[in-house]
Amino acid sequence: MKTIQSLDEILERRIVVCVGTGGVGKTTLAAALSVEAARRGRRALVVTIDPAKRLAGALGLNALEAEPQALPDSTLIDLGIETKQRLFAMMLDTQATFDGLVRKLAPAPEAQKRIFENPIYRHVSRNLAGSGEYAAMEKVFELLESTEFDLIVLDTPPAQNAVDFLDAPIRLLEFIESRLVRGLVQPALAAGRKGFRWFEGPTRRMLDLLERLIGVGFLRDLSDFLLAFESLSEGFADRAKQVRETLLGPDSAFLLVTGASRQTVQNAESFLDHLESQALPLAGLLINRMRLWPAGIAADSFKPGGDATDTPDLLTLRQAFERSHPEPQAAALAESARAVANQYNGWVNQDQENIEPLRKRAQDRGLFVRCLAERAGDVHDALGLRALSEELFDASAQDCHQ
Amino acid sequence: MTAEPSSFFTRRIIVVTGKGGTGKTTVSATLGLAAAHHGLSTLLVEVGAFEQLPRLITGRAEEPVGYRGRLLQPGIQAIRIEPFAALAEYLGLQIGSRRLVAQALRNRSLRQLLRGAPGWRELITLGKIWQLEQMEGPNGNPLYDLIIVDAPATGHGLTFLDIPHVARSAVQSGPLARNARRVEELIRDPKRTQILPVSLAEELPAQETGELVQRLRHDLGLVPDQVIVNAVAPPLPCPDPAELEQSLRRLPGDLPLTQLPQPESLADAVAHTSARHRLNQAYLIEIAERTGLPLVVLPLLDHGVNGPVELEALRPALIESGQGPGIVPPREPAS
């Protein structure tokens, strides 16, 4: 497979998956990627997780919905996208996705009703950790199946590691295909003829054990739930397999997003371990919220530790201020400027130090690395999103070296 | 309600929760140090796949403490609750035969089922926390005075706290229902358990913290004592940032400076730092309004949080916040 050298090439793929821990700006960056894709004439869809109201606003929408919505023309103009292009946005909604799946695969109203009313279905689809990841996989399949979009940019649920999201299809397959699940479903299918005795040996002992531990009522509900889902499970497994194949294939690219604090960088390294162990097509690393000096200024021209106690510079500044300010005030301004510069430089140095091991590791593996400066505020309108998108794809931008 | 400095130490359990990346682990570790300092026998509980607390507490690379746990330093024990280990222990107690359980858990079918089955990890983890809360030392007093749980991020965190209730409504009777009820009672008992949300003074965390507190109130009937707001940018080290920025922008752009950047870049740094500070202050007010709770403000540390030195630096802000300037008084919740 061709190695991706830059962010530009990522936009050529069919699906871009942004992974990383929570709080690193994945959602906004996913939106910024889709904006650039649309600007280049691709029909792009951004699928987000966070119901950030401001991001919806920046996309010209009141709220992100569970189905793709086209951005209004006025927003496209603000985003620098020609109005003949189309850009879509949606939010993953676990419950809506599950319900949609049931409706699609169990067309008979009675069957649907039975599933919707099952207490286990209600909990699984709404509440339980992991159901979001299952639903994400389902939605991705549906979107990949449609030819409406050239590029899907997918934000992923915040997780401590990549495992949750990426392993969801495997876990789902194992669950559906497990002998125990079959053991629960089959007797119900056999309509009381043989009950659990249908199974012999270890599985049968396991079912006895479950019943003893959990109680009969729960097992009956579970069996009902699985029975109701039986008709779905065949398709379920196929789709999970296909999604995984697509994600592993040449049409997809993973983008690891991280911040620059020591803990987020450590988490990103764990992600990297996992992505590598799974042989997932990781294309690049986005390091967001870096404190940087403008291009051309090297943090290490300050003394190590970020303490620029250079008296000639202080004198130069003071003399410059004295042209417009009385002497004591000029001295105070020069002192203040130096204090702020020192503080800021300390942060810049710290961020550089934090990201260095990750940056080096990524570059050694031939991944592209892109650093983005911390912004003063959140992106809250289309112009802000456009600025971010342009910064992201600014060819003249420095890389992460200071 | 005021957050007295001691309010952290009047319960048996503190569940530290919040959006990902807000610093739950830092807050958990700081509380652990503070509690030990206070003379409490403290247990730190991690539930994620990676252990982070031991390294923060001791400041050096640590062998995993795992499910057996380990004393990190006097007064601070740490454990990572691994769901499969907790399940094996629980089943062993229920069935009375560890051999049978070990054999059962080696069963490939059961392992497959458990890998895919949702919910049980959270339930068994909380069950283990309940058991740890019940444990007694040789003198009959609780073995741990305080148990600090570094809980999963909010979305999953609320699921985590609500799981006993979910389990109980799915299973009406039997041993599982009985145990789930005990755990639910512990989590919902404000005398024994305090939920401690951690936020950042930024848009999404502020929004999510507001939603978390609302849902805790409505779904679980729990009202936190306070919200921790982490990594709040300090004021600039100068009396009037706006004036400094303007004055810098009026200077010529080609001063013979040897180390400092040119005035334009200095002005940008002032503007950026100042904007970050103002933004944080605005979101502090928003969090206070959205939650109606007192805030405990932790400062952004220049060099990040890497070990006990920084935790010690945060400790006073966290613990003595009751009287200090770090606290924002409670406000009426926004309607």
So what's the ipTM on this one? 0.78
- Interchain pair A171, B250: CB under 8 A: no
Q: Closest Cα partner for B29 from B76, B71, B68?
A: B76
- Distance separating alpha carbons of residues A53 and A61, to the nearest angstrom: 9
- Interchain pair B261, A161: CB under 8 A: no
pLDDT of B20 strictly over 80: no
* Kind and range of the H or E run holding B77: strand B76-80
Which residues are bridge partners to B17 per DSSP? Answer: B197
pLDDT of A331 strictly over 70: yes
CA dist A138 to A17, A176, A255, Å? 15, 15, 21
Q: Closest Cα partner for A258 from A399, A158, A379?
A: A158
**How far A358 CA sits from the closest chain B CA (Å)?**
17
Q: What angle do CA A201, A181, A204 make, to 5 degrees?
A: 15
pLDDT band of B333, cuts 50, 70, 90: very low
- Interchain pair A209, B104: CB under 8 A: yes
Q: What number is the average pLDDT over the span B93-113?
A: 81
* Candidates A196, A225, A257, A263, partner chain B, best to mutate (most B CBs within 10 A): A263
pLDDT of residue A340: 92
**How far B36 CA sits from the closest chain A CA (Å)?**
24
Q: Between residues A100 and A396, which one has the greater pLDDT?
A: A100
pLDDT band of A84, cuts 50, 70, 90: very high
Which residues are bridge partners to B153 per DSSP? Answer: B18
Q: Map tokens 């039997």 to a residue.
A: B174
Contact of A321 with chain B, judged by CB distance below 8 Å, is answered with yes
Q: Per residue in B267-288, is it b (16+ CB within 10 Å) or e — as a string?
A: bbbbbbbbebbebbeebbebbb
Q: What number is the average pLDDT over the span B175-198?
A: 91
User: Which of A29-33, A114-118, B253-257 is the least confident region?
Assistant: A114-118
Q: What number is the average pLDDT over the span B204-208?
A: 87
Q: Tokens representing A187? A: 């007797």
Which residue in chain B has the smallest CA separation from A265?
B21
- Distance separating alpha carbons of residues B211 and A23, to the nearest angstrom: 16
pLDDT band of A395, cuts 50, 70, 90: confident
Nearest to B94 among A129, A179, A213 (CB): A213
From chain B, the residues in CB contact with A218 under 8 A are: 170-171, 174, 176
- Distance separating alpha carbons of residues B41 and B302, to the nearest angstrom: 31
pLDDT of B201 strictly over 60: yes
Residues 35-74 of A with CB under 8 A from B: 50, 52-54
pLDDT band of A191, cuts 50, 70, 90: very low
Which residue in chain A has the smallest CA separation from B211?
A51
User: Which of A65-79, A158-172, B33-47, B138-152 is the least confident region?
Assistant: A158-172
Backbone angles phi and psi of A153, in degrees to 5: -105, 120
**Which residues lie closer than 8 Å to A253 by C-beta, 6 or more apart?**
A4, A10, A13, A15, A16, A17, A281, A282, A283, A284
- Distance separating alpha carbons of residues B201 and B209, to the nearest angstrom: 10
pLDDT of residue B268: 92
User: Which of A347-351, A393-397, B80-84, B175-179 is the least confident region?
Assistant: A393-397
Q: Between residues B330 and B164, which one has the greater pLDDT?
A: B164
Which residue in chain B has the smallest CA separation from A379?
B203
- Interchain pair A297, B175: CB under 8 A: no
From chain A, the residues in CB contact with B119 under 8 A are: 123-124, 127-129
Contact of A175 with chain B, judged by CB distance below 8 Å, is answered with yes
- Distance separating alpha carbons of residues A219 and B269, to the nearest angstrom: 62
pLDDT of residue B330: 46
pLDDT band of A304, cuts 50, 70, 90: very low
Nearest to A340 among B176, B270, B279 (CB): B270
From chain B, the residues in CB contact with A270 under 8 A are: 50
B108: helix, strand or coil: helix
The structure's pTM equals 0.81
* Candidates B55, B107, B109, B278, partner chain A, best to mutate (most A CBs within 10 A): B109
pLDDT of A394 strictly over 90: no
Highest mean pLDDT: which range of A3-17, A105-119, B310-324 = A3-17
pLDDT of residue A273: 85
Highest mean pLDDT: which range of A63-77, B109-123, B167-181, B295-309 = A63-77
**How far B171 CA sits from the closest chain A CA (Å)?**
5
pLDDT of residue A162: 56
Q: What number is the average pLDDT over the span B36-51?
A: 91
Nearest to A175 among B117, B202, B263 (CB): B117
Q: At what angle do helices A201-214 and B108-116 cross, to 10 degrees?
A: 50
- Distance separating alpha carbons of residues B74 and B88, to the nearest angstrom: 29
Mean pLDDT of chain B: 86
pLDDT of residue A271: 84
B303: helix, strand or coil: coil
- Distance separating alpha carbons of residues A99 and A138, to the nearest angstrom: 11
Nearest to B50 among A217, A270, A320 (CB): A270
Encode pLDDT of A337-388 as tens digits.
Answer: 999 998 898 888 889 999 999 999 998 988 999 999 998 877 889 999 999 9
- Interchain pair B247, A130: CB under 8 A: no
User: Which of A321-325, B156-160, B239-243, B284-288 is the least confident region?
Assistant: B156-160
Nearest to A215 among B163, B177, B200 (CB): B177
Contact criterion met (CB below 8 Å) for A382 and A58: yes
Percent of chain A scored above 70 by pLDDT?
69
- Interchain pair A215, B175: CB under 8 A: yes
HEC assignment per residue over chain A: CCCCCCHHHHCCCCEEEEECCCCCCHHHHHHHHHHHHHHCCCCEEEEECCCCHHHHHHCCCCCCCCCCEECCHHHHHHCCCCCCCCEEEEECCHHHHHHHHHHHHCCCHHHHHHHHHCHHHHHHHHCCCCHHHHHHHHHHHHHHHCCCCCEEEEECCCCCCCHHHHHHHHHHHHHHHCHHHHHHHHHHHCCCCCHHHHCCHHHHHHHHHHHHHHCHHHHHHHHHHHHHHHHHHHHHHHHHHHHHHHHHCCCEEEEEEECCCHHHHHHHHHHHHHHHHCCCCEEEEEEEEECCCCCCCCHHHCCCCCCCCCHHHHHHHHHHHHCCCCHHHHHHHHHHHHHHHHHHHHHHHHHHHHHHHHHHHHHHCCCEEEEEECCCCCCCCHHHHHHHHHHHCCCCCCCCCC
Which residue in chain A has the smallest CA separation from B236?
A340
Q: Tokens representing B283? A: 């979101």
HEC assignment per residue over A262-314: HHHHHHHHHHHHHHHHCCCCEEEEEEEEECCCCCCCCHHHCCCCCCCCCHHHH
Highest mean pLDDT: which range of A229-233, A235-239, A276-280, A294-298 = A276-280
Q: Closest Cα partner for B130 from B102, B93, B103?
A: B93
**How far A229 CA sits from the closest chain B CA (Å)?**
14
* Candidates B112, B125, B290, B310, partner chain A, best to mutate (most A CBs within 10 A): B112
pLDDT of B335 strictly over 60: no
**How far B139 CA sits from the closest chain A CA (Å)?**
33
Highest mean pLDDT: which range of A398-402, B17-21, B215-219 = B215-219
- Interchain pair B255, A316: CB under 8 A: yes
pLDDT of residue A280: 79
pLDDT of residue B331: 47
pLDDT of B329 strictly over 50: no
Backbone angles phi and psi of A9, in degrees to 5: -70, -25
Q: Tokens representing A334? A: 């020069």
B71: helix, strand or coil: strand
Residues 78-117 of A with CB under 8 A from B: none
Percent of chain B scored above 90 by pLDDT?
58
pLDDT of residue B2: 43
pLDDT of residue A195: 46
Encode pLDDT of B246-299 as tens digits.
Answer: 999 999 989 998 888 899 999 999 999 999 999 999 999 999 999 999 999 999
Encode pLDDT of A123-146 as tens digits.
Answer: 666 655 456 677 777 788 889 889
Kindly calculate the radius of gyration of chain A based on its CA atoms and give it in whole angstroms: 27
- Distance separating alpha carbons of residues B271 and B238, to the nearest angstrom: 12
Contact of A120 with chain B, judged by CB distance below 8 Å, is answered with yes
pLDDT of residue B97: 82
- Tell me the pairing of strands A69-70 and B146-153: unpaired
Q: What number is the average pLDDT over the span B311-330?
A: 66
Backbone angles phi and psi of B53, in degrees to 5: -65, -45
User: Which of A257-271, B183-197, B262-276 is the least confident region?
Assistant: A257-271
- Interchain pair A158, B306: CB under 8 A: no
pLDDT of residue A204: 65
- Interchain pair B109, A203: CB under 8 A: yes
Kindly calculate the radius of gyration of chain B based on its CA atoms and give it in whole angstroms: 23
**How far B201 CA sits from the closest chain A CA (Å)?**
11
- Interchain pair B170, A120: CB under 8 A: yes
- Distance separating alpha carbons of residues B321 and B329, to the nearest angstrom: 11
**How far A1 CA sits from the closest chain B CA (Å)?**
32
Nearest to B22 among A23, A160, A266 (CB): A23
pLDDT of residue B3: 44
